[in-house]
Amino acid sequence: MSSALIHTSFYRFTPLADPEAVARHLREICAHVQGSILVAPEGLSGVAAGTAEHIAAFEQALLNDAPFAGAFTGMAFKRSSCNTAPFARMKVHVKPEIVAFGVDGVTAVASDDTHVSPQAWRTLIQRDDVVVIDNRNSFEYRLGRFEGAIDPQVDNFRDFAQWVQARAPQWREQGKTVAMYCTGGIRCEKTSTWMQEQGLAVRQLQGGILNYFQSLPDAELDWQGECFVFDNRIAINTRMQETDTTARQVYDPASPDEAWRLTRALRLDAATDE
């Protein structure tokens, strides 16, 4: 791959009658980009990297190619720069869910709109009646977070529901609004409807951290640190630029959940350099 690379991330919750057919066409249009894409009956989620020309062509194919039948029309793309090649190859997989929450029957295909724009989010998280939740892993939270955000300290996204259920009665009693965010928005979108069913007033940052960085030139006023990205770049700053942070600085080898992540990151990094 060229040294001039662009990274794009995207997702869309939308019913897909034939995920296998969608995956087949995706493999056809991915000849010049690398990354990872998940396809499921509830939609699509992916990341890709390539030259600006190839990424633009790939994004347009997702939006407009006839085999997708308009399923991804209007899907947002969040772009960032690369000094390091983020991926060594392209992988397209069909899964039961594009993000596994661990609660049967939860989907965001027909969820109520709880999105808050980056501009409105800045005001929302300053309110005294708002609880701000970081809906990511603890190692991501340590690296960077919104001021005042809570780390649920769960090792797996599947444990998030139990954490919320233990605190929901107190939040309801106090009349709190739960404002949550994640990297690109997909985790929050998957959980928002379920959280409303728990009787909670919920708001989520539209497009996640990446959209916040992309939308606000002064995002550093509200954001502390860097943002972890799940590829060989490791982290980006509020300007959507790759930083010098390494996997060894992110993961705690004394934590079983993080030790295997560190091993995998070092292995993937070696594979990219080959």
Give the bridge partners for 49, in sequence order.
Answer: 7, 34
Coil, strand or helix: which one is 147?
coil
Residue with the two structure tokens 């990872």: 36
Active site residue 227: no
Query: DSSP E strands: which ranges in 111-248?
Result: 115-116, 130-134, 144-146, 177-181, 201-205, 223-225, 227-228, 235-236
Tell me which residue of 12, 6, 17 sits closest to 74, measured CA to CA. 12
Tell me if 188 sits within 8 A of 158, measured CB to CB: no
Strand pairing category for 177-181 and 130-134 = parallel
Q: Which residues, in sequence order, are CB contacts of 104 under 8 Å at separation 6+?
A: none
Catalytic site residue from 30, 82, 182, 188? 182
Using alpha carbons, select from 197, 204, 62, 16 the residue that is nearest to residue 121: 204
* Cβ partners under 8 Å of residue 105, min gap 6: none
* CA–centroid distance for 76 within its chain: 12
Give the catalytic positions in this structure: 182
